[in-house]
A = this chain, B = another copy of it.
């Protein structure tokens, strides 16, 4: 029987001022899904490795199966598949864990079926899976995991996804402190309304960030990494947030923000030269408040998910 394995990268959604509209993909980490043809119709999640037994095997709750089912529904096909998920991403970390699983599953299943869909066309199926995993069909993790690079979700009705350029040498450090932050908690601290002034400031910074990416202007990217809408509230849920921010910027980071809804933090830098200093500086803050942290660093992934040949 045929089998296909695919990899989908971790992602940073929101990207500071890009709250709810931007995301980018990380080279270093991701999930792998193998999909195998089987005779009996229907989807079966056979195994999940690396999740500590926490993810559901039931097809209607599993993001891989939900995503593939949405694709099969669109095709009007009844196909039997076995799904093997290898988690490379920690759960509930804000690094797009559920998105990577769904995207890897879709890319593998699409290849198994002879690629009836172009890559970009898989997006709505991945969003259907995000709806089951997170309660909302956001695209700011699944789009960059699928397509790579920086991705703008300009609109949802209809879906308008724009791939942005990645300046040569842009590097990302991820700091994953050892505690869990529920997306629902991180969402609930946000305000329903924002001041016109803050909305305008946010627009200016988003515009600056987009211009910085196109121009390869690292200083402009750094100046634009300022979120006045979500970060001030979410930072209250993340111990040491402002201390870490100051420390990593002093150590050479262009800027820092919350990855997705946290608690993972991301820092961008020009090249890898400052990465160890950035990690050391953050480590020192976390040590001082008695919190463990895992640090990763990576170039921006520009390829997105791909089949492992």
Q: Report A's interface with B, CB cutoff 8 A.
A: 17-22, 152-155, 160, 162, 164, 190-196, 198-211, 214, 220, 223-224, 229
Instruction: Compute how far the CA of A201 lies from the CA of B155 in the bound complex, rounded to whole angstroms.
Output: 7
Contacts of A209 in B (CB 8 A): 207
Are A203 and B202 neighbours in the complex by a CB distance under 8 Å?
yes
Contacts of A155 in B (CB 8 A): 201, 204-205, 208, 223
Knowing A155-B223, A211-B210, say if A19 contacts B195 (CB, 8 Å): no
25 pairs, A vs B, C-beta closer than 8 Å: A17-B203, A18-B207, A20-B204, A21-B203, A152-B207, A152-B208, A153-B204, A154-B205, A160-B223, A162-B208, A162-B220, A190-B196, A193-B193, A193-B194, A193-B195, A194-B194, A194-B196, A196-B229, A198-B199, A199-B199, A203-B203, A207-B209, A210-B211, A211-B214, A214-B214
Instruction: Compute how far the CA of A191 lies from the CA of B202 in the bound complex, rounded to whole angstroms.
Output: 17
Contacting residue for A210 out of B192, B210, B223, CB 8 A: B210
User: A165 to nearest B CB, angstroms?
Assistant: 8
Instruction: Compute how far the CA of A15 lies from the CA of B182 in the bound complex, rounded to whole angstroms.
Output: 39
Are A192 and B196 neighbours in the complex by a CB distance under 8 Å?
yes
Knowing A160-B223, A214-B214, say if A206 contacts B203 (CB, 8 Å): yes
Instruction: Compute how far the CA of A199 lies from the CA of B229 in the bound complex, rounded to whole angstroms.
Output: 9
Contacts of A210 in B (CB 8 A): 207, 210-211, 214
**A155, A204, A224, most chain B CB atoms within 10 A:** A204
Instruction: Compute how far the CA of A190 lies from the CA of B209 in the bound complex, rounded to whole angstroms.
Output: 26
Contacts of A223 in B (CB 8 A): 154-155, 160
